[in-house]
Amino acid sequence: MARRSQTEMAVLGALSMQPMTAYALREAIRDVLGHFWSESFGQIYPTLQALEQQGHVERREGPRAGSSTFVITASGTAHLHELLSEPITTTPSRNGLLLRLFFGRTLGSDRCRELILQARADAERSLADYEELRRTVAVEDAGSPDLPYIMTTISAGRHSAQALIAWTEEALTLLDGAT
Amino acid sequence: MARRSQTEMAVLGALSMQPMTAYALREAIRDVLGHFWSESFGQIYPTLQALEQQGHVERREGPRAGSSTFVITASGTAHLHELLSEPITTTPSRNGLLLRLFFGRTLGSDRCRELILQARADAERSLADYEELRRTVAVEDAGSPDLPYIMTTISAGRHSAQALIAWTEEALTLLDGAT
DNA sequence: CCCTCCTTATATCTGGCAGATATTTCTAAT
DNA sequence: ATTAGAAATATCTGCCAGATATAAGGAGGG
């Protein structure tokens, strides 16, 4: 199976909410989907060109000279539905923290404990962010048919952050006797 | 900051346990670090060549004709320590499941529920794997100074799988009224 | 009114990296 | 002896992130 560009899915998804410039697209993906997705300019520009050639998006006059706003077409909406229906491609995880802990004896137990404490602090901040995001979205998107779907993604972030915090406690206990 | 090859870290780490061929290296990384790391041949071969040129590994007669076993050198061990000490580079997460749920109204609520159920089944299998792995490692590596470090990585997998299962319940509830 | 800084905006290049694939050698079973 | 499969080495394509170059418009201060 030819590897599909995952970028197309995110780009078309974002454009399905409203027309945008490439720049705004990246902002939107970072700000709205940022908890579970990311795209770089290096991918967005060529992807928009490809989508334009396929007729899935149309280029309109942008907010300033030489600037373009992209609009999703009917065929683009259909293509988005197709892409969303494709089986999920799981990218192999690379967890730098766990790799360091696995070779923790080489790194040293003090360093390991520092890394875990850092991870806990990060997770606590992230958990607070998710709690606030939930409140904000509940108010701003109240009544929207998209609300329950958006809430599932925020819930995933919350559960993940909570699990991380719980894990750091157990990990510190496990390393208690380690040299 | 020049992007460092993360592959070097995993390769040197694996070779620090025992000398191996490139093929065995990939097997070891998949089987032992597989829960939080992965490497492909496309990266392992050029990385071994680079490490050899830098003197961090040495090539020895392999188990058959034209085959090479790689041994980590003293400078390689030092280099591994350096790499482990570097700040963790976080690769941006791309969660295909959450992306589909976010645009769940386009995909359809039935499809979304299927995806969530699939995720729960996967997580339950994964949780069972972690439980078994914990028992196996506790016996096989009993008394090893590496044991507590390895246990932290298994614990991370368990917590993550448990969180995923808990999330699926909440997600299904959230989608209860969704069309 | 001009200078400067920040934001918006477009675009390209390098290199990390995964996955597929081609090829050869060894081993085990039939 | 033949064949199937595993072990082993290697390369290529294409996705992708991050850095970087460039420039236009707006805001603010002097």
Cα A98 from Cα A138, distance rounded (Å):
35
- In terms of CA atoms, which chain B residue is nearest residue A11? B99
Are A33 and B99 inside 8 Å of each other by CB? yes
pLDDT of the residue at A92: 86
Q: What top-level class would CATH report for the domain B6-85?
A: mainly alpha
Residues 6+ apart with CB under 8 A from A68: A21, A22, A59, A60, A61, A62
| Interface-testing mutation among A17, A95, A126, A169, with chain B (most B C-beta atoms within 10 A) | A95
Q: Which of A7, A36, A112 to mutate to test the interface with B (most CBs of B within 10 A)?
A: A36
Burial class (CB in 10 A: 0-12, 13-18, 19+), B161: buried
Residue B3 confidence (pLDDT): 61
* Mode of pairing for the β-strands spanning A57-61 and A68-72: antiparallel
DSSP string, A78-114: HHHHHHHHSPPPPPPP--HHHHHHHTHHHH-HHHHHH
Using CB atoms, pick whichever of B37, B96, B148 lies closest to residue A95.
Answer: B37
ipTM: 0.93
Over its length of 179 residues, how does chain A's per-residue pLDDT go in tens digits?
Answer: 346 689 999 999 999 999 999 999 999 999 999 999 999 999 999 999 999 999 999 999 877 777 899 999 999 999 999 999 999 998 888 999 999 999 999 999 999 999 999 999 999 999 999 999 999 999 999 999 999 999 999 999 999 999 999 999 999 999 997 77
pLDDT per position as a tens digit, B79-110: 999 999 999 998 888 999 999 999 999 999 99
* Regions of chain B where pLDDT drops below 70: 1-4
B168: chain A residues, CB-CB within 8 Å: none
Closest of A77, A43, A84, A37 to residue A58, by C-alpha = A77
Nucleotides of C under 7 A from a protein CB: 8-21, 25-27
Instruction: Report the pLDDT value the prediction gives residue A3, as an integer from 0 to 100.
Output: 60
CB distance A175 to B148 below 8 Å: yes
Q: Yes or no: say if B36 and B156 are a contact pair by the CB < 8 Å rule.
A: yes
With beta carbons under 8 A apart, name residues in chain A contacting B7: none
Q: Give the pLDDT confidence score for residue A4 in this predicted structure.
A: 66
Query: Alpha-carbon distance A137 to B52, whole Å?
Result: 53
B66: CB within 7 A of chain C nucleic strand: yes
* pLDDT digits 0-9 by tens, A101-112: 999 999 999 999
Which residues 138-157 on chain B approach chain A with CB closer than 8 angstroms? 145-146, 148-153, 155-156
| Mean of per-residue pLDDT scores for chain B | 93
The reply to whether residue B145 touches residue A177, judged by beta carbons under 8 angstroms, is: no
Q: What pLDDT sits at residue B91?
A: 86
| Residue B4 pLDDT | 67
